[in-house]
Amino acid sequence: MLPAAQFAMAAADIHHRTPEFRAMYQRVLGQLRAFIGSKNDVILMAASGTGAMEASVSNLTSPGDRVLVLTAGKFGERWTALTKAFGCQVDVVTAPYGQTFALDAVRAALKPDTRAVYMQATETSTGARHDVAAVAELLRSAKSEALLVVDAITGLGTTHLEIDEWGLDVVIGGSQKAVMIPPGLAYLSVSERAWQRMETTKNPRYYFDLRRERKSAANGESAYTPAVALIAALGAAFDYIAGQAGGDLAIGRDTLIDNAETCAAMTRAALPAMGLRLFAPDAPAAAVTAILPPEGVDSGVIVKEMKTRFALTLTNGQGEMKGRIFRVAHLGYFDPLDTLAVIGALEQVAHDTLKTPGFKLGAALAAAQQILSARTKQLTATRQ
């Protein structure tokens, strides 16, 4: 976690119905809008990311509404479960784990009465990136009335999203991912079209009533007791991100995205030398890299070795992908030097534990170093 956020949390000993809190809340909401990169109103809630996912179903649909879910992993499946839980009639476009969906399939599944489309920007369970811009364009060219709702919980801060230009109606983020603070806050941007939809939708909502939160936010308050310490931490994280770019939060966010892209590209380049392969080679996300272990090896062995030898936390696959893949995160408080350390540790595991045939220590690091050098040159050139 970001050290400055830890200090901010420890110092955030203020009551939430005070001018002091209202000033902080308004400041953080302003920063949040700049970070997300939209003119739309943003809502901050005390919940994990799934709370904001639920809010974007309960607030935007009525029982019986036809919706379209695009899914290729565990988080996509959450959209299916959530929309069904709220009584929607759910059409689903699926792609195999590790892949992204074909646009033709999306076009074919979109009906004149589709009221909303739910998707991920990056599917954290498989390391795949979905083409949000293309789906938005498809909805626009089809003159669809469907709202586009994007779970960007690991997409924000790792992937460029032009929310207003593409017309993304709801974009969701969560505190424990790219903004480097503990779990417990979810946030979302909401378009004017989506606010209007809420005037007529009938699904039940109470704690996650977005219109009520919007009203309170206009007065610098939250409807219920806010997670004061986490909000202070979020403000400190935004200060840090802006500080990376001379105080400009939008440029700081782009720097954060470049950083994730660099770490991900370094990791991808390092794999072949160690006999490891990408799980989502066609559309890899910058948020996280999902990796296939060598044939016949349980990925849990690699996760465990990394933990016991180097105190490094990689994650195993979720659900039925457990044992089949492992994942390296690039979002948040990681930089290229951390990535070199992770690759160095993976080299040790490849060499000593997996005994990868033909592998020479340093080969994966050399490949990653080449990427870092090339990307640094490229980024320096584009910034001049």
Ligand X SMILES: *Cc1c(COP(=O)(O)O)cnc(C)c1O
Query: What DSSP character marks residue 146?
Result: P
Binding residues for ligand X restricted to 249-268, rule: CB under 6 A = none
Closer to ligand X by CB, 60 or 153: give it. 153
Binding mask 168-197 for ligand X (x = CB under 6 A): ------x-----------------------
- The yes or no reply on residue 153 touching ligand X (CB under 6 A) is yes
Size of the site for ligand X (CB under 6 A): 10
Closer to ligand X by CB, 61 or 154: give it. 154
- Considering only the stretches 93-101, 146-154, 196-204, 367-375, report the one whose residues sit in contact with ligand X under the rule CB under 6 A: 146-154
Closest separation in Å from C-beta 344 to ligand X: 26
- The yes or no reply on residue 48 touching ligand X (CB under 6 A) is yes
Three-class SS of 279-323: CCCCCECCCEEEEECCCCCCHHHHHHHHHHHHCCCCEECCHHHCC
- The yes or no reply on residue 80 touching ligand X (CB under 6 A) is no
Closer to ligand X by CB, 64 or 96: give it. 96
Q: Are 279 and 325 in contact (CB under 8 A)?
A: yes
Alpha helices in the chain (DSSP H): 3-11, 19-36, 49-58, 74-85, 103-109, 132-141, 163-166, 192-198, 210-218, 228-243, 249-270, 299-310, 336-352, 363-383
- The yes or no reply on residue 86 touching ligand X (CB under 6 A) is no
Binding residue (CB under 6 A) for ligand X from 12, 42, 49, 171 = 49
- Considering only the stretches 59-67, 149-157, 240-248, 321-329, report the one whose residues sit in contact with ligand X under the rule CB under 6 A: 149-157
Closest separation in Å from C-beta 190 to ligand X: 17
Binding residue (CB under 6 A) for ligand X from 50, 216, 244, 348 = 50
- The yes or no reply on residue 89 touching ligand X (CB under 6 A) is no
Q: Are 265 and 371 in contact (CB under 8 A)?
A: yes
- Considering only the stretches 38-46, 147-155, 156-164, 360-368, report the one whose residues sit in contact with ligand X under the rule CB under 6 A: 147-155
Number of other residues whose CB lies within 10 A of the CB of residue 109: 16
Query: Cα–Cα distance between 187 and 176 in angstroms, integer?
Result: 11
Closest separation in Å from C-beta 50 to ligand X: 3
279's CB contacts (< 8 A; 6+ apart) are 97, 98, 126, 127, 290, 291, 292, 325
Q: Are 45 and 51 in contact (CB under 8 A)?
A: yes
Residue of 186, 334, 240 whose CA lies nearest to 5: 240
Give me 180's structure tokens: 């480097």
Closer to ligand X by CB, 174 or 332: give it. 174
360's CB contacts (< 8 A; 6+ apart) are 273
- The yes or no reply on residue 120 touching ligand X (CB under 6 A) is yes
- The yes or no reply on residue 315 touching ligand X (CB under 6 A) is no
**Binding residues for ligand X (CB under 6 A):** 48-50, 75, 120, 124, 151, 153-154, 174
